Amino acid sequence: MSTTFCSVNNFLWPNGVNKQGYNRRSCAGSLESSSNRGTTGFFGRSCRRQLNWTNEMPVEVWRQTKCQVLGSEVVPSDSAYAPDEEDEIPRATLIWRAVKLPIYSVALIPLTVGSASAYLQTGIFAARRYFLLLASSVLIITWLNLSNDVYDFDTGADKNKKESVVNLVGSRTGTFIAASLMLILGFTGLTWASVEAGSIRSILLLAAAIVCGYIYQCPPFRLSYHGLGEPLCFAAFGPFATTAFYFSQGSASDPSYLPLSGTILCASVLVGFITSLILFCSHFHQVDEDAAVGKISPLVILGTEKGSKAVKAVVVALYALLVAFGLSGSLPLPCIFLCALTLPMGNRIVSFVEENHEDKRLIFMAKYYCVRLHTLFGAALAVGLVVARKIGIR
């Protein structure tokens, strides 16, 4: 049989992800005639390629797999995506997955939107306090990630999860101590900033957000195992944290000059919506594993097909609320205009989940599309609030 050589070009993540995992293929070489195969246009061959996905980027691991060639297209067979137990994922890749760097946008966006809402009200921005709150928020998110790995290790949910921090460092106790230290340092920083702002409301709301995080994953509550993770996520990052950061931009000399306005309430609801969407989509690739350990996430209840429809409903509701808040005057028009520019990203999430909800290898990326929407939508919302202040729209 004649030999066929293949080259795969322009591997693009994540905009160009398709069912095959790559965009363009080109083949060169002598091909066996179709008459010898008995099937017009199809040729059998082998190529060495497998795709291993990380949190942020694809890592290529070459191995022997079966492929088909149709004209100039190389289409890998199902075996190309079958798990290969003999393949070892590089430790650097596992560490990158464990760090979950993109997820830290959930620390940035509530703070930025809350601070922008305060700027709309007062025209004042306390930059030093903002960065103190940002560093403290990052520590709190680190606590959430580490403690989640600890308690999922305890229940067996992370038994086969190589990128679990507990599995990587080989110490449940060490991970738990590190998580506890992050919580103490983070809460200390949040308290310091709230005292500096003279806002008891800020520290109470931030404490409520942290309590939501605790009962979400920690014993004896573990409410995420009862399908309540998304409501808790909405409350913690939306009305509690975003509103708390709004109050934290106040002044100790005049603690009452930041009223609880419709603007901050509406902005916090939108932030809560898009943050909960990240959590919801993070369950798609682990429905079977969650069900096996009794973790009844919404996707375990709904299934992935109905879950994909739920994603569409949430995205539609997000933009419907945006328009409603704008028409009611609760949000200034620059916010509506700038946030509307993120519609293509929302549509990408809907189409991606609808097409790939049954493919564990590809649907893993859905939550990172949601992180993109979270970051873009939140940034647009914050910029809109600042622009409204600059041009005198309230």
Q: Which of 99-103, 207-211, 307-311 has the lowest mean pLDDT?
A: 99-103
Question: What confidence score (pLDDT) does residue 150 get?
Answer: 87
Q: Find the range with the poorest average confidence among 25-34, 183-192, 249-258, 351-360.
A: 25-34
Distance separating alpha carbons of residues 215 and 275, to the nearest angstrom: 18
Question: Cis link prior to 220 (omega < 30° from 0)?
Answer: yes
Neighbours of 307 (CB within 10 A): 22
pLDDT of residue 167: 77
Q: Beta strands 58-70 and 73-76: pairing type?
A: antiparallel
- 0.85 exceeded by pTM: no
Question: Which pLDDT score is estimated for 255?
Answer: 54
Spatial distance between the Cα atoms of 206 and 236, rounded to a whole number of angstroms: 8
d(Cα 334, Cα 326) in Å, to the nearest integer?
Answer: 9
In the chain, beta strands by DSSP E: 4-9, 24-29, 42-53, 58-70, 73-76
d(CA 280, CA 366): 10
Flag whether pLDDT at 137 surpasses 90.
Answer: yes
Q: So what CATH class is 93-390?
A: mainly alpha
Q: pLDDT-based confidence at 160, cuts 50/70/90?
A: low
Quick: pLDDT tens for 34-75.
Answer: 334 333 333 333 333 334 444 444 433 333 333 333 333 333
Q: What is the DSSP-derived secondary structure letter of residue 2?
A: -
What confidence category does residue 183 fall into, taking pLDDT thresholds of 50, 70 and 90?
A: very high
Q: Using CA atoms, how far apart are residues 242 and 136, in angstroms rounded to an integer?
A: 14
Q: Which of 43-57, 70-84, 159-173, 304-318 has the highest mean pLDDT?
A: 304-318
Average pLDDT over residues 233-242: 96
pLDDT of res. 46: 36
Both tokens of 286, joined, read 């682990």
User: What local confidence, expressed as pLDDT, does residue 218 receive?
Assistant: 87
The three-state (H, E, C) secondary structure of 220-269, written as one string: CCCHHHHCCHHHHHHHHHHHHHHHHHHHCCCECCECCCCCCCHHHHHHHH
Beta-carbon contacts of residue 236 (< 8 Å; ≥ 6 apart): 208, 209, 210, 212, 213, 216
Mean local confidence (pLDDT), 288-308: 89
Q: Which residue has the tokens 């990408």?
A: 348
C-alpha–C-alpha distance, residues 383 and 379, integer Å: 6
Q: Give the pair of three-digit tokens for residue 254.
A: 């005049």
Judge whether residue 303 has pLDDT over 80: yes
Average pLDDT over residues 113-132: 94
Q: How sure is the predictor about 27, in pLDDT bands with cuts at 50, 70 and 90?
A: very low
Domain boundaries, given as residue ranges, for the chain: 4-88, 93-390
Which pLDDT belongs to residue 250? Answer: 83
Torsion of CA 250, 256, 261, 263, to 10 degrees: -20
**How many Å separate Cα 38 from the centre of its chain?**
48
Does residue 81 register a pLDDT over 80?
no
Which pair of structure tokens corresponds to residue 69? 């060639």
Instruction: Tell me: pLDDT of 202 over 70.
Output: yes
| C-alpha 58 chain-centroid distance | 17
Q: Above pLDDT 90, what percent of the chain?
A: 51
Model confidence at 275, pLDDT cuts 50, 70, 90, reads very high
pLDDT digits (tens, 9 = 90+) for 102-118: 888 999 999 999 999 99
| 340-355 pLDDT tens trace | 999 999 999 999 999 9
Give the amino acid at 53.
W
Segment 23-40 shows an average pLDDT of: 37
